[in-house]
Structure 1
């Protein structure tokens, strides 16, 4: 039976794909869970149209993110933290701290886009990847400065 996927289905396909599946799989699993609908002329045309719209939206988003990436690539952000003896930090610098430092310079960015790996626990310079969109990952410099 041919079906049009309404949502992404693991090991089958993405939303909008037209797939040939076993009748029982379609009737007993995909259709009752609203993961797919039976493929007919109307549903097929709708799926193709939705894929085109999604592609256009994704291309537009990538273009906007490339412009943002060009503006932040190589920028240096300073974060001042309190330190004790031997430059030992109290706490750590997290993605939230870096996002707040970027916000002060006029760039609003979600903290989940910053790829730290783990919080920064030492004073020094770090290179941080920013995941903006598929294939758009600029790097920024974060300078952790101890005070106190």
Structure 2
């Protein structure tokens, strides 16, 4: 089955390409999701007329993605989680947690664009990649810290009977 792509589809093609796919994939996924049209002469002519608009749209999307990428590269997120003595988290930090933290900073990112091979399950500093566009990827610094209060040492408290001057 030959289809004309209306949107970029990862591992298949970019907007405006005519691709050959299996009938079930085209009928059951690409066409209902609005990602492709049947590659008829009328649809091909329609896309050729829209190609100029699509080029301008692609340039605008790329510029927006690069601008957002610069903001994300400067972003550091800190998560406080309960952790065991050896630094293992009770739970994890997932792409959904990262997307929610970004939304709190007025940076709306779809969680599926956040690339985590697996959830973060230990304390520490991590670099997480966000795919914004096929040509633009940003890196966010994620720090996972324990929410338990730090144990105090005798050096931090004044000896009994002495007061601290304010």
The TM-score, its normalising length taken from structure 2, stands at: 0.64
Residues 68-121 of structure 1 deviation map (CA, whole Å, 9 limit, x = unaligned): 111121321101111123222111110011111212222121111111111111
Shift in Å, 1:49: 1.2
1:35 alignment counterpart: 38
The TM-score, its normalising length taken from structure 1, stands at: 0.71
Q: What pairs up with 1:14-93 in 2 under 5 angstroms?
A: 16=16, 35-37=38-40, 39=41, 45-93=45-93
- Structure with the higher fraction of residues in strand conformation: 2
CA contact (8 A) 1:78 1:145 kept: yes
Higher-Rg structure is 2
Shift in Å, 1:59: 1.4
CA RMSD of aligned residues (A): 2.9
Number of corresponding residues = 127
Using a 3 Å threshold, how does the CA distance of structure 1 residues 54 and 86 change in structure 2: closer, same or farther?
same
* Structure 1: gaps (5+ residues): 20-28
CA contact (8 A) 2:4 2:18 kept: no
2:163 alignment counterpart: none
* Structure 2: gaps (5+ residues): 7-12, 28-36, 149-166
